Amino acid sequence: MEPELSTAETIVLSALAVLLAFWMQPGIKAAMARSKQVNADWQSVLMPLGLVVMFVLFLIAMV
C-alpha cells in the first residue's frame, strides 16, 4: 500500500503548485502571445503523430 499524505503535506504541496503556476505565468503569457502570431502548421504535427499511431498499431498486431 502507498502511504497517504498528511494534511500538512497536502497543504504544502498545494501551496507549491500554486506558487509554481504564478512563477511560470509570465512565460506562459508570452508563449500564448507568440503562438497567436504564428501561422498554424498542423501538417508538421499530424504527420509524426500519425506515424507513431501506425507504428503502435503495427506493434500491437505483431503480438
Domain tally for the chain? 1
Q: Which domain holds residue 27?
A: 1-37
Q: What is the pLDDT, as a whole number, of residue 1? A: 63
Give pLDDT tens digits for 8-52. 999 999 999 999 999 999 998 888 888 777 777 777 889 999 999
Residue 28, amino acid: I
| Closest among 15, 17, 37 to 25, alpha carbons compared | 17
Residue 13 falls inside a structural domain? yes
Query: What percentage of the chain carries pLDDT values higher than 90?
Result: 56
Give pLDDT tens digits for 41-60. 777 889 999 999 999 999 99
Q: How far is CA 50 from the centre of its chain?
A: 19
Residue 49 falls inside a structural domain? no
Residue 33 falls inside a structural domain? yes
Residue 30 falls inside a structural domain? yes
Residue 32 falls inside a structural domain? yes
